[in-house]
């Protein structure tokens, strides 16, 4: 194959991908998936929580999907009405214990000053019958901003 022919084939492939040729047959983007997400409740018909970090959250242009060991649900991105993020700071019990072990009472005092932050995301949406609903997720510190940005992009809700 000549260099010109290889260049033409490469450009054709790149153009096909840029024009949507690389998307699934359904025409919707596959979305992006994160682990390290907890489900704390709120979805209609689902009882319980998923309090371990071994869950998957997928955000695509058409839906938000959560899958865990016992809990799985999808929400249409067009149904989402509001996103609300809250960071909750609290004392780190582990740092207090480690400080006490390392330096006695002074170490415990220094360790008790260490704060950890829990990241919560409330997603308000409407059900098929038009009634309001909401769910609460706990996000990991390593992926919380990426997930929030992806939700804003997929739902069209401004920050």
**pLDDT mean values, one per 10 residues, the chain (159 residues):** 49 44 44 93 91 94 95 96 78 49 50 65 94 94 92 90
Q: Any residues with CB less than 8 A from the CB of 60 and at least 6 apart, and which? A: 28, 29, 30, 31, 32, 77, 154
Which residue in 64, 31, 34, 30 sits closest to 142, CA to CA? 34
Note whether 63 and 122 are same-domain residues.
yes
pTM of the model: 0.66
Note whether 64 and 21 are same-domain residues.
no
Buried b (16+ CB within 10 A) or exposed e, 42-52: bbeebeebbee
- Integer Cα distance of 55 and 36 in angstroms: 6
Note whether 9 and 84 are same-domain residues.
no
Structurally, how many domains does the chain consist of?
2
Residues in the chain: 159
Q: What pLDDT is stored for residue 119 in this prediction?
A: 82
Which residue in 77, 55, 78 sits closest to 143, CA to CA? 55
Note whether 101 and 116 are same-domain residues.
yes
Domain that includes residue 2, residue range? 1-25
């Amino acid at each position: 194959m000549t260099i010109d022919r290889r260049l033409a084939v490469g450009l054709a492939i790149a153009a096909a991908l840029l024009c949507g040729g690389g998307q699934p047959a359904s025409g919707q983007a596959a979305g992006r998936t994160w682990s390290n997400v907890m489900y704390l409740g709120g979805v209609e018909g689902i009882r319980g929580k998923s309090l371990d970090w071994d869950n998957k959250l997928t955000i695509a242009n058409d839906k938000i999907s959560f899958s865990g060991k016992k809990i799985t649900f999808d929400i249409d991105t067009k149904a989402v009405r509001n996103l609300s993020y809250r960071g909750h700071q609290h004392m780190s019990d582990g740092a207090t214990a480690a400080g006490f072990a390392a330096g006695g009472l002074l170490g415990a005092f220094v360790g008790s000053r260490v704060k950890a932050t829990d990241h919560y995301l409330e997603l308000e949406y409407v059900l098929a019958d038009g009634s309001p609903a909401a769910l609460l997720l706990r996000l990991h510190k390593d992926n919380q901003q990426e997930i929030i940005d992806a939700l804003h992009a997929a739902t069209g809700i401004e920050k």
